[in-house]
Each structure stands twice: as C-alpha cells, then as structure tokens.
C-alpha cells in the first residue's frame, strides 16, 4: 500500500487545555473532600488535621508518581498503560481492570450522592421517602453524562472547567473568611490535646482521608487529549496536589479551631465545638463543608444557600469523570490488545470512543440497579441482609471502590519502579525527587525511593480494605478473577501470548507518542539518548 | 430566629493563614496556567505576529492572461479573517499598435464580468472590496505600480488561462510579477482537475459514491 492511499483513522482530539486537565482531576478530588471531611472529623476527632496530613503524604507520593508517568508517557489509559509497559501485559490488564471497576462505580456512586446532596434543598429526592424518584433521577444523570461524553471531550471539559473554577473560588473564600473571622488558635490546640482519638480511630480516619486518589488518574487518562502533555501535565498535577492538600489541611484545622457563628448546643443544652456535631451523626457527616461554610461569620449567610448546590454539582462532575475515565482506559487497553478492538473504535463524527462510553455507562447502570434494589423492592432487602452481611447496595459499591483504587495504585508504584529500570532513555520532564543512582543492564538508572514509600503506604491500605470490608474481600478479587478469565480467553482466541507479554517495539512507540503529543524537543532528546545508548553498547561489544 | 454569636475572632494567626491560603492557591493556579512556550509555539507566535504585516492590504490581480477567479474566494476569506483591505484589479494590456486609451470592448466586458464576480464573492463573505480596471502597456508594470500606490502587502494571482501558455510554467506575466514585486506574492495554481477551492470532504464523498 502506498503512502497516502489510505485515509488516516481519526485520533482522539487534543483539545484539553491546562485548566481542562486540572479540572478533570479536581472534579474527582474536590468532590471527595465534600464527602470525606465529615467522616474524618467523626473518627479522627482532635487528630483530624494529623489524619489529613498522613493521608496527604501518601497522596503526594501517588500524585508525584502519576505526574512523572503521565508526563513521560502521555497516552490515554493512565495507570494500566504504565503498569503494562513496566511490568507486562497481564499486570497491565489487572491494573486496568481494577480501575475500570473503580470508574464504573464512580459513575454510580457520585451520581447517587449528588442526588442525596440535592435532597438537602429538595426533600422529595430523599431516597428513603421516594426511592423510585431517586432512582429515576440518578439513572437520568448517568444517561445524560454518557451522552455528554459521546458528543466530545471539549464539551465535557468546559462543563468541568466552569464548575471547578467556581468551587476553587468558593472553597478559597470559605477558608479565607473562616480563618479571618472565626479561627481561634488556642481552641485548635485545646481540641488536639483534649480530644486525641484512639490509635484505631486515627487509622480509620486516616484511611477515610485517603479517598482523594482517583482525580490524578483522570489527569493522566486525559493525557492523550491534552495539549503539550509533557509540559502541561506536571503543572496541572502538581497544582492539583497542592490545591487539594491546602484545602484538606486548612479545612481540618479550621474545623477544629472554629468558633461557630451560630452557637451549637447538644440535646442537654450544653455548648459544643463545631467538630463535635459529626460523631455518630451520618446526616451531618455527609454535608460537612456546607455546615462549616454556614458557620463562617457573614459569608456563611450566603454560603449556606449555594454550597449544597455546588457540592451536588461537583459530585455530578465527579461522576462525569467516571464516564470519561472508564472509556479512555478501555480505549487504551484495546489498542494494547488487552481488550477487544471494539473498544478502540473512535466515532468518525464525534471523534470519541463511543462504544467504550456506552458500554461502561451500561455497567454503571447495572451497578445502580444493584445498589437501588433494596430500596425499590422490599423483598430484595432481606436477601441483601442475608447474603451481604446486612450491608446495603451503596456500602457494597464503596467497598469495591476502595479495593479497586488500592489495587491499581499498588501496581502503579511497581510499574514506576519497573519503568525507571527498563526505560531510562525516555526523557522525564518531571521526575520524583529522592532517587538512588545505580546501574541496571549496563544503563545508568535512578531508583525511585519515594515509590517504595508510596507502595508500602498504598499496599497497607489495600490490606486494610481487605481486612475490614467483608464484601470488598469477596467481590473485589472476584471481579479480578472474572476479568482474568476473560483476558485469558481473549488472548488465546487472538493467538497472543497469554501469560507473557506481546512483543512490542517500545522505542518506536515512544517516538510516536512524543510526536503525537507535539513534544518534538523531547522526541529529539529521546532519539539522541537511544543513539548514544546504541553507540555505547556497540562500543562495549567490540 | 437564628441566634448569631456577637464575637468575631479576628486574630493575627487567622489573618496570616487566610492570606497564605489565598496567596498559595492563587500563585499555584497562575503558575499552572502559564507554562513555558515550546519551540513550535514560538515559531507559531512569530508567524502570527507577521501575519498582519503580510496581509494588511491585498490586491487580487486579473487580466486576460491571468485567471484569478478561483483564488478570489480564498482572498475574500483571508481578508475577512484578518480584516484586510481588498482591491480587485483588472489590467487590460493595450498593444503598442493602439493608442493608450483605445476602446477594447471585449476585454472591458470581460473585466466587468471578472470584477463583478469578485464583488459577489466579497459580499458573500461580508468583506469590503474596491474594484479597479486600468489600461496599460504592460500588465506586470501596471500591477506593480498599483501595488506601490496602495502600499499592498500581498498580491494574489491565479494562473495562466488555458490556451495562452507562453513558455513560462506559470505564465510569463505571473512569473515577472512574482520576480519583481516588492511585496509578497501568492500564486494559486489549480491542480489538474481544478481542486484548489473544492471542499475535500465533498470530493471524497463523491469519489466513494
């Protein structure tokens, strides 16, 4: 076939700007803070700020790992691609399959909680009162987000970008006015001294504070559609890490040292501190940011009206990130022969992976039905109580959510270590600090010490999830086993290596990745590195 | 009635932390939104800066030898995008055997057609256009003189008319203008099947059919 005789297949559009890339991550992480703050305050009490600090350290490790990998390998697929390239096909599949589980659950879980949040202002949406209406609205949201993503990434990115901007401004205002008008340093110290939790509660609080993982995955998944990814992604990732860390630490410290605008009393009429309204009160735990905002002098009068709405919208765009993420991972996995090529088809009109989007949105709908069944059909409720240890559908989804995230990110750290050893020639515009120089297979490499710390941290959380969540312990590994069986059958059918990796020309692949990314200077650097390495090896050979 | 605490706790530590939060968030986002330019971006920026200089004033030249109808639409779109001044010029070359102001009915009629079409294209693209017909002994010199008078940045020319091939690949007059012009010259040469201004997608669809 001669050059130019075949029309080029459409590729994903490079339309995601720096703010778009940031907002894809922020939409996930920002929403988690809306949910997580109350839970952490409930369990970690006077050590909530310390819990967020511990969680923040692991979060920073994960963030740095993703930043380096996404900037070095700007392709759709995120973690699974890094793992596949660093450890091999089968590990890449496991990591990708785990994240797929996570993102499909993300779609359902966050659409569901978005409606719950809205119910603060619209009581008809309360699930326990009108389950069918609640179910219908959540279903409508999932289908709507699916269509939005089918139309194209620019439209979805605009949607995310506007809401993220509003939320960043809003949260900054809440915190600034809160610290300015209602913060007592002495109260913070007093609370930390008098209400320090038990070790178990502190660990539980820390594990709850660590739910802010998936946002960074979204940035790396959008890498293939981001303009100049090697330059932009390190900035958006680092900015996201810093912004969320600032918000999390500031919220927790403000909550512990807040002098409430409206006096808070318990049932006996005794005065309470702000953080004391969260333990044993699930209603308050779910709307912590709104409650805190309302307690900020003057600004709180305005914030009490819009923060519940903003929280609901932010949760909704987090759900949108789930649709985006799952379709992009499937796209990348199918182009790597880890999933059937059906998922790699890009629609000629919209230039988006329509089949992937629709398929994984359909899985999200199945999960929604599963989660809503006990409320919709009372007879099903007893079945859940009998077989699922009394947990409801949403508990089940949350267990799997934690399992999927911890599994995939454990592999990502291993993938990062593997890539540092096996691919030292790829230029890394951003590199995790604290590296140990060494030689591996004749090349100078840098062993990432931070990745080891991060792996220990996230693997501990994986073990903790398996240990403390009976449903996650059963269904999480079951999802992986089911996926692996599908993978084995598919690879055998395609006559590809089943347990070993497919042979790939990573050098040409990396050149092509950098060329498509528009990172021509990095491409030149990579080619020069390859040439120098080949010359060195040839010299050694003679 | 909602009770409100009368105490507002403005402390130095609180004020400093508030300032720090606003500063850190603002600085972080500013840093994120201002990445360094790549080599390719610098090239593109330089080209854009030059664009206004290149296409500030456009002349589309016609003559019996120069068929520029097919590049007129291109010139109109360019002028609209860059808000350029657009002049459609028709040059009638008067042979030395005739006086300079000789009546040349056929050529003058052709000029009206060419400039009328140019006006129609310009109006359709919502672009202001001036038209001018001049008689001269040399087409090349006439075009260059008008370009000098108008301080034109770009002369746009079509290619030779079929049947008037004069030995030069693009047509003698066109090559002379391109060689001697003091400004940029854009020559639109039609392909074998005249595809210069045909929508590629429409063409491929028709070919597939």
Q: What are the pLDDT digits (tens) for A243-292? A: 988 998 999 999 999 888 888 887 777 888 888 888 876 566 667 788 88
Judged against a pLDDT cut of 90, whether residue B25 lies above it is answered with: yes
Q: Where in chain A is the domain with CATH 1.20.1740.10?
A: 18-504
For the beta carbon of residue A430, count every other beta carbon within 10 angstroms: 18
| Angle in degrees, 0-180, between the axes of helices A131-151 and A299-335, rounded to the nearest 10 | 60
In the prediction, which pLDDT does A157 show?
Answer: 67
Answer for the pair A127, A134: CB distance below 8 angstroms, yes or no.
yes
- The predicted model gives B161-168 an average pLDDT of 54
Q: Is A258 on the interface with B (CB under 8 A)?
A: no
Q: Is A447 on the interface with B (CB under 8 A)?
A: no
- The predicted model gives A430-450 an average pLDDT of 87
Answer for the pair A159, A320: CB distance below 8 angstroms, yes or no.
yes
Q: Is B30 on the interface with A (CB under 8 A)?
A: no
Answer for the pair B85, B56: CB distance below 8 angstroms, yes or no.
yes
Residue of A nearest to B204 (CA): A7
Domain limits, chain B:
11-54, 56-200
Report pTM. 0.72
CATH number of the A18-504 domain: 1.20.1740.10
B21–A172 C-beta distance less than 8 A: yes
Residue of B nearest to A177 (CA): B18
Which residues on A lie below 8 Å from B29 (Cβ)?
22, 168, 239, 243
Judged against a pLDDT cut of 90, whether residue B51 lies above it is answered with: no
- Tell me what the pLDDT averaged over chain B comes to: 79
Q: Is A264 helix (H, G, I), strand (E, B) or coil?
A: coil
Q: Is B33 on the interface with A (CB under 8 A)?
A: yes
Report the C-alpha gap between A401 and A103 in whole angstroms.
8
Q: Which CATH architecture has domain B56-200?
A: 3-Layer(aba) Sandwich (3.40)
To which residue do tokens 């994984």 refer?
Answer: A360
Q: Is B4 on the interface with A (CB under 8 A)?
A: yes
Residue of A nearest to B27 (CA): A239
- Who wins on pLDDT, B170 or A433? A433
% pLDDT > 70, chain A: 87
To which residue do tokens 């589980």 refer?
Answer: A101
Q: Is B12 on the interface with A (CB under 8 A)?
A: no
Kindly indicate the confidence band of residue A140, based on its pLDDT and cuts at 50, 70 and 90.
very high
Report the C-alpha gap between B131 and B146 in whole angstroms.
12
Kindly indicate the confidence band of residue B202, based on its pLDDT and cuts at 50, 70 and 90.
very low
Nearest CA to B35 among A73, A17, A57? A17
What do you get for the CA distance between the two ends of chain A, in Å?
39
Q: How much is the CA Rg of chain B, to the nearest whole Å?
A: 29
Which residues on B lie below 8 Å from A252 (Cβ)?
none
B35–A232 C-beta distance less than 8 A: yes
CA B13 to chain centre: 60
Q: How would you label B6-23 residue by residue, b for 16+ Cβ within 10 Å and e otherwise?
A: eeebebeebeebbeebbe
- Tell me what the pLDDT averaged over chain A comes to: 82
Kindly indicate the confidence band of residue A470, based on its pLDDT and cuts at 50, 70 and 90.
low
Judged against a pLDDT cut of 80, whether residue A296 lies above it is answered with: yes
In the prediction, which pLDDT does B193 show?
Answer: 55
Would you tell me which residues 178-207 of chain B have a C-beta closer than 8 angstroms to some C-beta of chain A?
204
Residue of B nearest to A17 (CA): B33
Nearest to B35 among A18, A172, A518 (CB): A18
- The predicted model gives A208-226 an average pLDDT of 67
In the prediction, which pLDDT does B168 show?
Answer: 59
Report the C-alpha gap between B143 and A485 in whole angstroms.
76
In the prediction, which pLDDT does B2 show?
Answer: 46
Distances (CA, A) of A22 to A218, A222, A328, A379, A412: 9, 10, 17, 45, 21
């Amino acid at each position: 076939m001669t050059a130019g005789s075949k029309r080029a297949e459409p590729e994903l559009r490079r339309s995601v700007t720096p703010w778009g890339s940031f907002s894809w991550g922020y939409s996930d992480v920002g929403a988690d803070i809306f949910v997580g703050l109350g839970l952490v305050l409930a369990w970690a009490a006077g050590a909530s700020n310390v819990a967020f600090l511990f969680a923040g350290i692991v979060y920073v490790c994960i963030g740095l790992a993703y930043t380096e990998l996404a900037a070095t390998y700007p392709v759709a697929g995120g973690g699974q691609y890094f793992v596949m390239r660093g450890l091999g096909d089968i590990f890449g599949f496991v990591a990708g399959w785990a994240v797929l589980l996570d993102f499909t659950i993300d779609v359902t879980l966050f659409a569901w909680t978005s409606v719950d949040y809205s119910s603060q202002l619209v009581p008809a949406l309360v699930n326990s009162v009108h389950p069918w209406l609640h179910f219908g609205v959540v279903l409508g949201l999932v289908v709507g987000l699916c269509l939005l993503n089918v139309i194209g990434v620019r439209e979805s990115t605009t949607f995310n970008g506007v809401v993220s901007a509003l939320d960043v401004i809003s949260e900054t205002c809440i915190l600034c006015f809160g610290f300015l008008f209602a913060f007592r340093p002495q109260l913070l110290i007093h609370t930390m001294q008098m209400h320090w939790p038990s070790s178990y509660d502190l660990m539980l609080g820390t594990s709850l504070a660590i739910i802010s993982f998936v946002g960074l995955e979204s940035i790396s998944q959008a890498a293939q559609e981001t303009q100049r990814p090697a330059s932009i992604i390190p900035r958006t990732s680092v900015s996201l890490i810093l912004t969320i860390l600032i918000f999390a630490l500031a919220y927790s410290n403000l909550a512990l040292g807040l002098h409430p605008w409206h006096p808070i009393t318990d049932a006996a009429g005794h005065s309470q501190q702000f953080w004391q309204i969260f333990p044993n009160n699930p209603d308050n735990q779910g709307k912590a940011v709104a409650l805190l905002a309302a307690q900020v002098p003057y600004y709180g009068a305005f914030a009490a009206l819009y923060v519940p709405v903003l929280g609901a919208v932010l949760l909704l765009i987090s759900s949108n990130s789930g649709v985006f993420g799952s379709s992009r991972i499937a796209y990348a996995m199918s182009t790597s022969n880890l999933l059937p090529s059906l998922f790699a088809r890009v629609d000629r009109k919209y230039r988006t992976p329509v089949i992937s989007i629709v398929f994984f949105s359909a899985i999200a709908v199945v999960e929604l039905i599963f989660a809503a069944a006990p409320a919709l059909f009372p007879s099903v409720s007893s079945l859940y109580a009998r077989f699922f240890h009394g947990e409801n559908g949403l508990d089940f989804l949350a267990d799997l959510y934690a399992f999927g995230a911890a599994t995939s990110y454990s592999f990502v750290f291993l993938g990062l270590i593997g890539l540092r050893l096996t691919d030292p020639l790829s230029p890394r515009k951003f590199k995790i600090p604290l590296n140990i120089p060494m030689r591996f297979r004749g090349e100078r490499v840098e062993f990432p010490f931070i990745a080891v710390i991060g792996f220990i941290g996230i693997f501990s959380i994986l073990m903790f999830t398996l240990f403390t969540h009976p449903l996650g312990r059963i269904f999480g590994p079951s999802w992986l086993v089911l996926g692996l069986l599908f993978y084995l059958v598919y690879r055998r059918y395609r006559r590809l290596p089943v347990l070993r990796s497919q042979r790939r020309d990573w050098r040409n692949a990396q050149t092509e990745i950098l060329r498509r990314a528009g990172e021509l200077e990095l491409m030149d650097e990579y080619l020069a590195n390859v040439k120098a390495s080949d010359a060195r090896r040839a010299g050694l050979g003679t | 009635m909602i009770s409100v605490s009368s105490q507002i706790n403005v402390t130095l530590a609180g004020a400093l932390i508030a300032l720090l939060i606003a500063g850190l968030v603002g600085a972080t986002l500013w840093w994120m939104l201002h990445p360094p330019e790549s080599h390719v971006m610098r090239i593109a920026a330089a080209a854009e800066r030059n664009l206004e200089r290149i296409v500030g004033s456009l002349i589309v030249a016609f003559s019996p030898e120069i068929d520029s109808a097919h590049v007129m639409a291109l010139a109109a779109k360019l002028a609209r995008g860059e808000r350029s001044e657009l002049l459609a010029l028709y040059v009638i070359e008067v042979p030395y055997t005739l006086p300079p102001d000789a009546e040349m009915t056929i050529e003058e009629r052709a000029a009206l057609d060419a400039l009328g079409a140019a006006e129609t294209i310009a109006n359709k693209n919502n672009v202001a256009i001036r038209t001018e017909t001049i008689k001269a002994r040399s087409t090349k010199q006439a075009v260059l003189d008008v370009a000098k008078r108008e301080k034109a940045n770009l002369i746009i020319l079509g290619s030779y008319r079929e049947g008037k091939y004069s030995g030069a690949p693009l047509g003698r007059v066109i090559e002379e203008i391109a060689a001697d012009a003091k400004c940029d010259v854009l020559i639109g040469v039609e392909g074998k099947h005249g595809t210069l201004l045909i929508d590629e997608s429409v063409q491929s669809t028709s070919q597939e059919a």
